[in-house]
A and B are shown apart, each in its own frame.
Chain A
Amino acid sequence: ETGVTQSPTHLIKTRGQQVTLRCSSQSGHNTVSWYQQALGQGPQFIFQYYREEENGRGNFPPRFSGLQFPNYSSELNVNALELDDSALYLCASRYDTGPYEQFFGPGTRLTVL
């Protein structure tokens, strides 16, 4: 196990709703990244937080937002859900320095109806 946990495991929402997904990073990891993994695809980078500030973002619209807290927990918020947002959402944490190794959580499966 990586020590990275995510909640909830599964979630069902309807189009237009808002959702908050949670991640608890491995202790000591100052950096957390969020990824969207559509069925049969590789993870796509959403954004990264370092010491509670967003410091990198992939090709995702502003309705995807996040927060990182001092206790190594973080959130991914998605507003105005669309059907295409249905995916596995992964968080990954790592030390702020080092050889890029990141540790993934098990993911949250989001279904938008």
Chain B
Amino acid sequence: QQQVKQSPQSLIVQKGGISIINCAYENTAFDYFPWYQQFPGKGPALLIAIRPDVSEKKEGRFTISFNKSAKQFSLHIMDSQPGDSATYFCAAALGNQFYFGTGTSLTVIP
């Protein structure tokens, strides 16, 4: 059973636009929700993370919105740039176990 469901699978956005990626989870015991960015040939790199007692967290152009009652969280990338083109993974963690979504391939067109 997929613990974390991620959508869309792929996303194309114009430069300067807003990219939005959504995730939903099942287990209400999850207590840490990170987003990772992965470039080809590289390992995932932590982008931003949130805990369930906070509804929103912003770091620069990246914002996580968290809806505990709906068991959903999303990543918003404002003013998207071509350098943001990468694969993005959401994850949910409980203790030492991380469950990843299936990834979203983001392409930002100049």
For the complex, what is the distance from the CA of A108 to the CA of B76, rounded to whole Å? 30
**B98 and A45 within 8 A (CB):** yes
Q: A4-B43, A41-B102, A41-B103 are in contact. Are A100 and B49 (CB under 8 A)?
A: yes
Tell me the number of A-to-B contacts counted with CB atoms below 8 Å.
Answer: 60
**A2 and B43 within 8 A (CB):** yes
Q: Could you list 30 A-B pairs, sorted by A, with CB under 8 Å?
A: A2-B43, A2-B45, A4-B43, A31-B96, A33-B98, A41-B102, A41-B103, A42-B4, A42-B91, A42-B103, A43-B44, A43-B89, A43-B98, A43-B100, A45-B97, A48-B96, A48-B97, A55-B96, A56-B96, A56-B97, A90-B43, A90-B44, A92-B43, A99-B49, A101-B34, A101-B49, A104-B43, A104-B44, A105-B43, A106-B42
For the complex, what is the distance from the CA of A107 to the CA of B46, rounded to whole Å? 15
For the complex, what is the distance from the CA of A58 to the CA of B100, rounded to whole Å? 12
Please classify how large the interface on chain B is, using the bins under 10, 10 to 19, 20 to 34, 35 or more.
20 to 34
B62 at the interface (CB under 8 A from A): no
For the complex, what is the distance from the CA of A45 to the CA of B96, rounded to whole Å? 9
Chain A min CB distance to B54 (Å): 12
For the complex, what is the distance from the CA of A50 to the CA of B49, rounded to whole Å? 23
